[in-house]
Amino acid sequence: MSEGNGKADKERRKIKSADAMRDMMVKYYTEAKGAEGTDRHIAWITSGAPVEPLIAFNVIPVYPENHGAMCGASHMNVELCEVAEGRGFSRDLCSYARGDIGSAITKGGPIGGLPRPTFLVVCNNICNTVFKWYEELARFFDVPLFIYDTPFVRGDLQQHIADYSLRQMEEYVAFLEKITGKPYDEPHFTDVAAKSLFASALWKDVLACNKHKPAPMTCFDAFIMMAPIVTLRGTQEVVDFYQGLLDEMKQRIKEGIGILPSEKYRLLWDNIPVWYEMRNLGKLFMELETCLVADTYTSAWTFEGVDAEKPLESMSRIYTEVYLNINLERMADKIESLATRYSVDGMIMHSNRSCKPYSLGQYDLAKEFTRRTGKPALIIEADHTDSRWYDRAQVETRIRDFVENLLGETVPA
């Protein structure tokens, strides 16, 4: 293939919706930052928390975790973590939390920090770290904190957990009424919830396109493309964006455009991305003709089983049963189902040093995965945004060895 052809091929394989997404996120952050100091409410919120009520109350939601991913990807999170460490926060705490606390203090990071919140919303369905982190933010900013407490679910969701979740959903709405001074508008809320669900269904369809061989995108692309579904679901803009993305993916499938120049192996990824290493890992996998076709992370925002008649109730159930809030057996079911649906050859698990709920249990899950699917699993050590713990040479060697052994044949080095 000539140089020119290579370029054209690269252009052909590029996901065009990425630009629209970037524009939308820039607009979102500009608007959010512009709202600082005005009478518009700004809430910092965790990635797993119900955002729909905020959208319905015209509050701007801001996601420190999404910001953390940005800081990580732009190699700026370590210096922010160091600020928090200088204040006495242990180096072993979640690096999103450390970086965020550091950025709150210094306004550091690629976009000059996040706009000051007028209140905070935390939901422990992803981990219990977040409420400790948000308690600290509440002290730092001296603003109200709403805790949406989602008890851990073993087996099926039990009624008393569902009841507790619903009571808090109602309380959350009352909290917002009080803070914004506006009454709850059920039809409006239902509309927002419907859009959120619609967007999430589209997102699910987008991810499902990767069942196709060759896969039209990798999960690294999905990690980037999920920003709107995490931050802004519930708005029409997001619905439109995912509709566009879905159309593009379908078109790619039709034209047989894969994301990699050649796809020989398909793998499943577990855990949060290694944000500061995305580019290098992306290159490595391309070279190894290996496509990461699915992951346990981005699918966390695909909601199922919603009853539009009872928006609060179904929302409260959905938010309680997210991937990280269920027992290992249920997680194994999920992994197994991804593996089958996306026809993977194996799994790579990122053992993420400062994220315990996602990482503890991986050794058992890896074994269970192999037992159920007969496919191998590799565990690599890293941290989602603290690169000081990362040993690139070692990780790359392990990935190479793993892929080489996948079909018992050697791939070009």
Positions touching other proteins (CB under 8 A) are: 87-90, 92-94, 97, 124, 127-129, 131-133, 135-136, 138-139, 145, 147, 149, 151-152, 154, 158, 160-161, 163-164, 167-168, 171, 327-329, 351, 353-354, 356-357, 359-364
Show the CA angle centred on residue 51, arms to residues 50 and 52, nearest 5°. Answer: 95
Do the beta carbons of residue 377 and residue 349 sit within 8 Å? yes
384 binds, among ligand SF4, other proteins, none (CB under 5 to 8 A by kind): ligand SF4
163 binds, among other proteins, ligand SF4, none (CB under 5 to 8 A by kind): other proteins
Q: Give the residue with the Cβ less far from other proteins, 221 or 270.
A: 270
Distance separating alpha carbons of residues 123 and 387, to the nearest angstrom:
27
Q: How far is the CB of 381 from other proteins (least distance, A)?
A: 8
Distance separating alpha carbons of residues 231 and 127, to the nearest angstrom:
18
Distance separating alpha carbons of residues 387 and 241, to the nearest angstrom:
32
361 binds, among ligand SF4, other proteins, none (CB under 5 to 8 A by kind): other proteins
220 binds, among other proteins, ligand SF4, none (CB under 5 to 8 A by kind): none
Do the beta carbons of residue 354 and residue 94 sit within 8 Å? yes
Residue 359, CA atoms < 13 Å, CB-side half-sphere: 16
Residue 350 host element (H or E): strand 346-352
96 binds, among other proteins, ligand SF4, none (CB under 5 to 8 A by kind): ligand SF4
Q: Give the residue with the Cβ less far from ligand SF4, 221 or 386.
A: 386
Q: Give the residue with the Cβ less far from ligand SF4, 350 or 384.
A: 384
Residue 29 CA: distances (Å) to CA of 35, 36, 384: 10, 11, 22
Q: How far is the CB of 52 from other proteins (least distance, A)?
A: 20
Q: How far is the CB of 186 from ligand SF4 (least distance, A)?
A: 32
Q: Give the residue with the Cβ less far from other proteins, 160 or 262.
A: 160
Q: Nearest-CA neighbor of 356 among 77, 69, 129, 100?
A: 129
Instruction: State the residues that interact with ligand SF4 by CB under 6 A.
Output: 65, 94, 96-97, 126-127, 129-130, 272, 355, 357-358, 384
Q: SS3 of 326, please?
A: strand
Q: Give the residue with the Cβ less far from ligand SF4, 346 or 357.
A: 357
Distance separating alpha carbons of residues 231 and 25, to the nearest angstrom:
9
Q: How far is the CB of 150 from ligand SF4 (least distance, A)?
A: 13
Q: Give the residue with the Cβ less far from other proteins, 23 or 92.
A: 92
* Residues in contact with 168: Cβ distance below 8 Å, sequence separation at least 6, in sequence order: 148, 149, 316
